[in-house]
Amino acid sequence: MKWTPKIFHNVLRLIVTCLGVLAILSSSSLALAQGDQEIVYDYVFLIDTSGSMNEGTPPLFGQVITVASDFINQLPNGSNLTIITFDTLIKEFGRWKNLTSLTKDSIVQSLSELRANGNYTAMWDAVCAGVSEMEAMNDGNNTHIQLLISYTDGEDNVSSNAPGACLERYLLLQKNGYTYWIYNSLNNIPVPSELLELQENLGINRSSNPTPIRVAQFQPFLLNMGNLLAGPSEPKQGCMVYWLSDPSITGMPISFSEPPTSDRSLPIGTGAQVCASGTTCDHQVIASTAQVCIDFDLVNLSPENLVAADYGEYTLSLPLEIKSDDGLGQVYIMPNKLDIRFSLEETSTATPIPTETKAPTSTFTPVPTDTPVPTNTSTPVPTSTPAMGTTNIRCQGKSEIDLGKLEINEDGSVSSRQDCLIEINSEYPTQPMLVSIESENVEILPYLSLEAGNITGKSVQVRPETKKITVLFNLPPEEVEKLKGGTHRYNADLVFVTQDTALIGDFKGGETTLPLAFQIVKPKSKLPLFIAGGVVALIALLGLIKGLAKRSTPPEFNLIMTVEDKNGKKDESLMLLKPVRIDKGKYKISVGSSPTAGVKVINLPQEAFDIIGVKSKEESMEYYIEPKAPMAQNGVPRQIQFKLLAGDELTIGATTLKFKIGM
């Protein structure tokens, strides 16, 4: 066999992969011991299958499949993978849990048979589908490291979802630092402006042809250093193991030059110091599939100088950065931070009192009976850990959620919702709570979901400021039709996971789950087919007539806009204006100083913003603001589309606008 550079590279790749697997296996106990976390890796691919992907020499599509296949072959066993294709339609190519070498081989073989023959590019619909998949992958019991990878050579031209709807949900996932999106712009197409504004929150690759996906991931990503007051006063060591998607990453420096941030103030006079192990104090380690260690020290820590408020647990966040100068493309590190946890807990140094002591027989002097024995006047020992706060969950005021008997709606569907109020009481900042819904009735589980704020999914992350979580059940007519006549009983569980508060409220003592029960009642009797057909035809005809009448008449915007500027205050009613139809069920009124604006406001930019009206299923209107110029909503800068609520105050330059809805 001729020893060529290509064969050498493949052998090197195989050796590095084997070493990585061995290192992860040998250090798994260390990782769990230090981080005390179960880590799951999720990967979601979005692949453009429009016909233009066949252009290029060699064709772009074949290159994308090769790069994706190489990356999938290197994925750690046990990972989760979903592949979504998009052109005019969004299709789930496949979903795999707990990857093995055999399943990876099968996936790569299936990918080789995929073809690009679509007409249009529904990129934003695909992004929304990918974000929904990542939300669903979060099972609430583990910590998920999630990577979204997209490839496209065209601009969106057919999506029904607005960019803001997808990006806001992605940003919510991305806030935890464990979710990242690599957007690959092929054939030198322009990158959407909405993504350029978020370059700090995602990776953007611009290239004529797809480049290898180079990612460095590590575990554990939380190192628990224990009680710094216990044992000798010296730096504590913590170690990690990296998984590298490409051998070319080996040897690259991973720097942490920025100081770590703490979730609470460190004791006065102290400072956190992180150094690479075995160095004088280098602020970088080398990417390797072998064990990589750092030393942590709280400089100037002295037990004598601590006050009661200093005791308890601390979590530091250390930013990580990896840079590549080899010309082979960007390298991403996930997560891009390392969390370090430690505590300051008082250790007892008092000599223990024997349980039984006999007095000497010759030299003992009795204590006079009229002299009181001195009481203990030593300084009380500070409490080592702050008292745990509480999270109060109130759904129905009892330990089981009963949705009752659910009747069939007029449209043939069955739906229900239950709000659960959340109240957190804690003296200290709390971590987000994970809530998931589970059921052994697999046929009904796809139609159960949770809603917290603007996040919806089977598992949602509930931030401390969220005051309500809602259980939603929506069974479509085609599924109701499959049910036999009679009463059908179903059960599910609402599972809550908190890190730093105790659950109270509707829970039984010590429980973290609320059972949920409901029944669906379907009448056994049916109308004769000819009567049912006539009724359906009549309803359809009435619906058609009603739809045509509504379609010909634009809806009213029940809004009053109060404009306040240097010229004073003025109310503008939008109810008599004729909005412009922009899509099915969507209308807009433009606002600005332009003569063509629907609402002309002199002191605003020519194109300030659009008010988007969206008809809901209940035929009510919801309103959104699409910024065209810099603005703030209630003091918060806004650049992408957001929902308009009653009482909202928009600021554009020196002009303030307030809205009344439904007047």
Lowest mean pLDDT among 131-135, 248-252, 427-431: 427-431
Tens of pLDDT, residue by residue over 388-444, are 688 889 998 888 999 999 999 999 999 999 999 999 888 778 777 888 888 888 788
526 vs 79, more confident = 79
Q: What is the mean pLDDT of residues 563-578?
A: 88
CB 389 within 8 A of CB 498: no
Quick one: pLDDT at residue 293? 93
Q: Is the pLDDT of residue 600 over 70?
A: yes
Q: Is the pLDDT of residue 372 over 70?
A: no
Task: Name the pLDDT band for 381 (thresholds 50, 70, 90).
Answer: very low
Quick one: pLDDT at residue 575? 84
Output the CA torsion sign for 4, 6, 9, 11: negative
Q: Is the pLDDT of residue 141 over 70?
A: no
Task: Name the pLDDT band for 13 (thresholds 50, 70, 90).
Answer: low
Task: Name the pLDDT band for 200 (thresholds 50, 70, 90).
Answer: confident
Quick one: pLDDT at residue 428? 79
Token output for 540: 């359809």
What are the φ/ψ torsions at residue 205 (nearest 5 degrees)? -105, 120
Tens of pLDDT, residue by residue over 287-329, are 988 889 999 999 888 898 899 999 999 999 999 999 887 777 8
Q: What is the mean pLDDT of residues 475-493?
A: 91
1 vs 101, more confident = 101
Residues 6+ apart with CB under 8 A from 115: 49, 61
Q: Is the pLDDT of residue 117 over 80?
A: yes
Q: Is the pLDDT of residue 538 over 90?
A: no
Quick one: pLDDT at residue 14? 52
Question: What is the rounded average pLDDT for all residues in the chain?
Answer: 83
Sheet holding 433-438, edge to edge: 401-406, 513-522, 486-497, 433-438, 459-462
Q: Does residue 649 sit in helix, strand or coil?
A: strand
Amino acid at 551: R
Q: Is the pLDDT of residue 500 over 50?
A: yes
Q: Is the pLDDT of residue 32 over 60?
A: no
Quick one: pLDDT at residue 377? 42
DSSP of 432-475, one letter per residue?
PEEEEEE-S-TTTGGGEEEEETTEEESEEEE-TT--EEEEEEEE
What are the φ/ψ torsions at residue 126 (nearest 5 degrees)? -65, -40
Q: Is the pLDDT of residue 384 over 60?
A: no
CB 46 within 8 A of CB 317: no
> Hey, what CATH topology would domain 389-520 get?
Immunoglobulin-like (2.60.40)
Q: Does residue 419 sit in helix, strand or coil?
A: strand
CA distances from 34 to 177, 324, 431, 554, 629 (A): 19, 29, 19, 62, 49
Cα 62 from Cα 212, distance rounded (Å): 13
Q: Is the pLDDT of residue 461 over 80?
A: no
Quick one: pLDDT at residue 373? 43
CB 235 within 8 A of CB 296: yes
- Is the CATH number 2.40.50 carried by domain 220-344? no
Tens of pLDDT, residue by residue over 541-560, are 877 776 665 556 778 888 88
Quick one: pLDDT at residue 557? 87
Quick one: pLDDT at residue 124? 95
Amino acid at 637: P
Task: Name the pLDDT band for 83 (thresholds 50, 70, 90).
Answer: very high
CA distances from 18 to 225, 247, 546 (A): 30, 11, 66
Pick the closest to residue 38 from 183, 117, 139 (CA basis).
139
Q: Is the pLDDT of residue 52 over 50?
A: yes
Cα 428 from Cα 374, distance rounded (Å): 38
Quick one: pLDDT at residue 380? 43
Task: Name the pLDDT band for 227 (thresholds 50, 70, 90).
Answer: very high
Amino acid at 419: D
Amino acid at 53: M
Burial label for 535, CB within 10 Å (0-12, 13-18, 19+), is: exposed
Give start and end residues of each alpha helix (H) in 175-250: 193-196
Quick one: pLDDT at residue 28? 36
Burial label for 180, CB within 10 Å (0-12, 13-18, 19+), is: buried
47 vs 18, more confident = 47
Place of tokens 């030299």: 363
Cα 484 from Cα 522, distance rounded (Å): 7
Q: Is the pLDDT of residue 366 over 80?
A: no
- Is the CATH number 2.60.200.20 carried by domain 559-661? yes
Q: What is the mean pLDDT of residues 170-184?
A: 88
Pick the closest to residue 642 from 616, 595, 609, 615 (CA basis).
609
Q: Is the pLDDT of residue 168 over 70?
A: yes
Q: Please give the DSSP secondary-structure letter assigned to residue 249.
A: G
Same fold flag, 38-212 and 220-344 = no
Structurally, at CATH architecture level, domain 38-212 sits in 3-Layer(aba) Sandwich (3.40)
Quick one: pLDDT at residue 539? 82
Q: Is the pLDDT of residue 3 over 50?
A: no
Task: Name the pLDDT band for 34 (thresholds 50, 70, 90).
Answer: very low
| Boundaries of every domain in the chain | 38-212, 220-344, 389-520, 526-551, 559-661
Q: Is the pLDDT of residue 447 over 50?
A: yes
Q: Is the pLDDT of residue 383 over 70?
A: no
What are the φ/ψ torsions at residue 369 (nearest 5 degrees)? -70, -25
Quick one: pLDDT at residue 527? 53
87 vs 566, more confident = 87
Q: What is the mean pLDDT of residues 251-256?
A: 92
CA distances from 558 to 561, 579, 607, 659 (A): 10, 11, 22, 10
267 vs 34, more confident = 267
Instruction: List, in sequence order, every residue forming a beta bridge with 86; answer none if it has no partner.
Output: 48, 90
CB 294 within 8 A of CB 368: no
Q: What is the mean pLDDT of residues 214-242?
A: 89
Cα 636 from Cα 623, distance rounded (Å): 18
Quick one: pLDDT at residue 399? 87
Quick one: pLDDT at residue 509? 73
Helices and strands (DSSP H and E) totals, the chain: 8, 41
Lowest mean pLDDT among 87-91, 239-243, 382-386, 546-550: 382-386
HEC secondary structure over 554-592: CCCCCEEEEEEECCEEEEEECCCCCCEEEECCEEEEEEE
Quick one: pLDDT at residue 375? 44
Q: What is the mean pLDDT of residues 499-512?
A: 82
Quick one: pLDDT at residue 526? 54
